[in-house]
Structure 1
Amino acid sequence: MLLRRITQHVQSQNWFAVFLDFIIVVVGVFIGIQVSNWNETRHAEQEAGLFRANLIADLQNDRDVYALRKKFYLEVKQAITGVDNILHNDLPDSLALQWDFIRDVDKAGGMWPFQPSAQVYNQLLNAGKLDLVSDDAVLRQMRDYYQDAALEAGLTFKFDSVFRDHSRSLLDWQLTDYIISDCNVIGADPSDILDDNQNYYTTCPVPDLASNILQTAAKIHTEKNLINELNLLFSQSVRILSFIEYFDDQAESLIQELERQ
């Protein structure tokens, strides 16, 4: 209809009307483009908000996991200290204390690998949509968290624990079976930890295997090579706890940055 009107105005040489029709067409096209751009921008902002919410949920879950890992490795470190103390001193006479010693030997070799949950990050990276999430500074921080630091954590857990293999080879098989079947640890779900004072490793009563305990404790205590192996394990536990603190700080910082967007 507009085209027919323009044609009529041209035929009648009504140039002013032609000019007005031209302005109407230009303005209409401009408004259409602006509305389209606005819709695209709005969609991109909504999409970015959803991406940020998913990343924040991932990061918060990571922090819950780190809290559990920290509790686990603090107990491992405490067990290492307890074993080291007995290896440098006389073996206790008490059956209960010797059982605690054996339990600490088992705990000291505990290992629980971890790394950031990168599912959402990798999806955005592969889809080329990370730029929607935040600015360059935050994207660099995310890359360090999800790629560089995670790679370092992976290398950390390739550590071959000589103490773990050596000490567990000295454990009586019946005691090992009892530990596995009756001395369960709390599950991997962070909600299983009910309060800060709860231990990851649950209390395990002394089994009715007195002679096995006495013989195994004495055998471990005479293995002096375990001291050097334990020193290396202690250094490793300190390094792992440092990694956990670093990851948790990075996750907290990223959550704060993403919430500001």
Structure 2
Amino acid sequence: MILSRISQAIRAQNWFAVAIEFVIVILGVVIGFQVNGWAERQDEDRRAAVYLDRLLSDLETNEMRFTTAYAFREQVRDLGMEALSYASGEAEAPSDWRVILAYFNASQAGGAEPVDATYREMLATGDLDLVRSVQLRGLLASYYTSTGFSEITDSLPAYRETVRGIIPIDLQTYIWENCWQSIVGRTQRLIDCDGPETTDPGRISALATTLIGHEQVNAELHFWVSNQYAALTIHQAQIDQTAEALSALRDLIGEIE
């Protein structure tokens, strides 16, 4: 239609009409680009909002997991220290069962599995630039690329194998079922519990005496307790990094809203 009018104006040498038609065409193209650009920005804003909301959920989950893992490691360390105090004679156990429980649960291990699905998806799709804060992108890159921590938090000590080779399976099963709890994300919680009522007290007493006096068990437990301090330092760093990333993310979401 426009081309037809331009052709007619050119044939009639109506240059003013030709100019007007060209202006209309150019304005149409410019407006079209602006509309397309606006639509693309709107789409990017919507995608960014979804990503930011998912990142927030991931980081909040990680905060819970790392905090729970820290509390778990504190329990493991404290039980190890408790068992060593019985072995050294610095403390007297309240019961023979308490000795067995302390020695067994002091052998627990395992870190927390962080959630990183959203960040990995953004990297794979090239959508990380939708996070328009350079500071936050840097924090996320550092947060999700930390390596080497699992070598300490997930390590299995010789103590674990030794002490579990001494404690009978039925007692270990009882502890698993009554004195330990698994939480999502590979995190765990230790529970104080009474001993099994059906077990011969003499058997419990003999086992407690064996553990307290076992040189190899206690030597290996010394190392494992020391390892807990490294694990606790790592989990505290993970908690601090998560809090920093969460703060920056919430600030960005607040600015957008």
TM-score normalized by the length of structure 1 = 0.87
Deviation by residue 1:104-158 (Cα, 9 ceiling, x = unmatched): 101111112223211111111111111212334322321221122xx32222245
TM superposition outliers: structure 1 runs of 4+ over 4 Å: none
- Report how many aligned residue pairs link the two structures: 248
Which amino acid is the alignment partner of residue 185 of structure 1? W
> Which residue does the alignment assign to 2:126?
128
Which amino acid is the alignment partner of residue 63 of structure 1? E
Any conservation in 2 of the 1:114–1:153 contact (CA below 8 Å)?
Answer: no
Q: Tell me, yes or no, if structure 1 residue 202 matches structure 2 residue 200.
A: no
Any conservation in 2 of the 1:49–1:133 contact (CA below 8 Å)?
Answer: no
Find 1:105's aligned residue among 95, 103, 106.
Answer: 103
Find 1:241's aligned residue among 232, 237, 242.
Answer: 232
Q: CA deviation at 1:90?
A: 7.1
Rounded Cα–Cα distance in structure 1 between residues aligned with 2:23 and 2:29? 10
Any conservation in 2 of the 1:172–1:216 contact (CA below 8 Å)?
Answer: no
Which amino acid is the alignment partner of residue 107 of structure 1? N
Deviation by residue 1:232-252 (Cα, 9 ceiling, x = unmatched): 212221111111111122112
Q: Tell me, yes or no, if structure 1 residue 227 matches structure 2 residue 218.
A: yes
Any conservation in 1 of the 2:110–2:155 contact (CA below 8 Å)?
Answer: no
Deviation by residue 1:3-50 (Cα, 9 ceiling, x = unmatched): 111111111111112111111111110110111011111111111111
Any conservation in 1 of the 2:9–2:17 contact (CA below 8 Å)?
Answer: yes
Any conservation in 2 of the 1:172–1:212 contact (CA below 8 Å)?
Answer: no
- Give the unaligned 5+ runs of structure 1: 191-198
Which amino acid is the alignment partner of residue 138 of structure 2? R
CA 174–9 in structure 1, closer or farther in 2 if over 3 Å, else same: closer
Rounded Cα–Cα distance in structure 2 between residues aligned with 1:134 and 1:241? 34
Any conservation in 1 of the 2:58–2:115 contact (CA below 8 Å)?
Answer: yes
| Percentage of matched positions with identical amino acids | 23
Q: Tell me, yes or no, if structure 1 residue 188 matches structure 2 residue 183.
A: yes
Deviation by residue 1:155-185 (Cα, 9 ceiling, x = unmatched): 224523011111221213342233234x242
Which amino acid is the alignment partner of residue 64 of structure 2? D
> Which residue does the alignment assign to 1:9?
9
CA RMSD of superposed structures (Å): 2.1
> Which residue does the alignment assign to 2:139?
141
Find 1:168's aligned residue among 159, 164, 185.
Answer: 164
Deviation by residue 1:199-253 (Cα, 9 ceiling, x = unmatched): 9322321333211111111111121233332222122211111111111221121
- Which deviates the most, 172-181 or 22-31? 172-181
Rounded Cα–Cα distance in structure 1 between residues aligned with 2:219 and 2:181? 30
Find 1:118's aligned residue among 116, 119, 127.
Answer: 116
SS of the counterpart of 1:206?
coil
Rounded Cα–Cα distance in structure 1 between residues aligned with 2:26 and 2:109? 69
CA 135–233 in structure 1, closer or farther in 2 if over 3 Å, else same: same
Counterparts in 2 of 1:31-70, with a 5 A limit? Answer: 31-70=31-70
Rounded Cα–Cα distance in structure 2 between residues aligned with 1:113 and 1:52? 26
Deviation by residue 1:73-124 (Cα, 9 ceiling, x = unmatched): 11111101101111111784x7x52211110101111112223211111111
Which amino acid is the alignment partner of residue 229 of structure 1? E
Rounded Cα–Cα distance in structure 2 between residues aligned with 1:4 and 1:90? 103
TM-score normalized by the length of structure 2 = 0.88
Rounded Cα–Cα distance in structure 2 between residues aligned with 1:137 and 1:162? 43
SS of the counterpart of 1:152?
coil
Which amino acid is the alignment partner of residue 84 of structure 1? L
Rounded Cα–Cα distance in structure 1 between residues aligned with 2:233 and 2:23? 67
- Give the unaligned 5+ runs of structure 2: 253-257
SS of the counterpart of 1:252?
helix
CA 44–116 in structure 1, closer or farther in 2 if over 3 Å, else same: same
Q: Tell me, yes or no, if structure 1 residue 213 matches structure 2 residue 204.
A: yes
Any conservation in 2 of the 1:134–1:258 contact (CA below 8 Å)?
Answer: no
Rounded Cα–Cα distance in structure 2 between residues aligned with 1:108 and 1:235? 12
